[in-house]
Amino acid sequence: QVTLKESGPGILQPSQTLSLTCTFSGFSLSTYGMGVGWIRQPSGKGLEWLANIWWDDDKYYNPSLKNRLTISKDTSNNQAFLKITNVDTADTATYYCARIAAEQLGDYWGQGVMVTVSS
């Protein structure tokens, strides 16, 4: 059974760095072809794919946010991480992590974690 769960700070101030953790079970990020992606959704709005990390530690970023994003993983503890630097109110959103397996970009998703950027 594949599960993912996101965790984060809840609220942070403009210019700070947002650190998110995705803790998963039911698959391994050391398995060939597996990956984890991060996606966000401002309240009542659409979805934006942020970053992907693969079993071989390949990393890919949304071109419009690339300079602010860092994705990483801890394979032994079944976790993936995303950092976003220099946040502002536009980064307020629900952040999701999702499994990537073969041709299925997001076949399982976490429940999401709400992040608010406010002074």
Indicate whether 95 belongs to the interface with another protein (CB under 8 A): no
DSSP string of 46-73, one letter each residue: --EEEEEEETT--EEE-TTTGGGEEEEE
Q: Binding residue for another protein (CB under 8 A) from 63, 67, 77, 118?
A: 63
60 binds another protein, rule: CB under 8 A? yes
- Of these, 1, 10, 58, 64, which contacts another protein (CB under 8 A)? 64
Q: Does 109 bind another protein (CB under 8 A)?
A: yes
Least Å distance between CB 64 and another protein?
8
Name residues whose C-beta falls within 8 Å of residue 71's C-beta, 6 or more positions apart in sequence: 38, 51, 52, 53, 59, 61, 80, 81, 82, 83
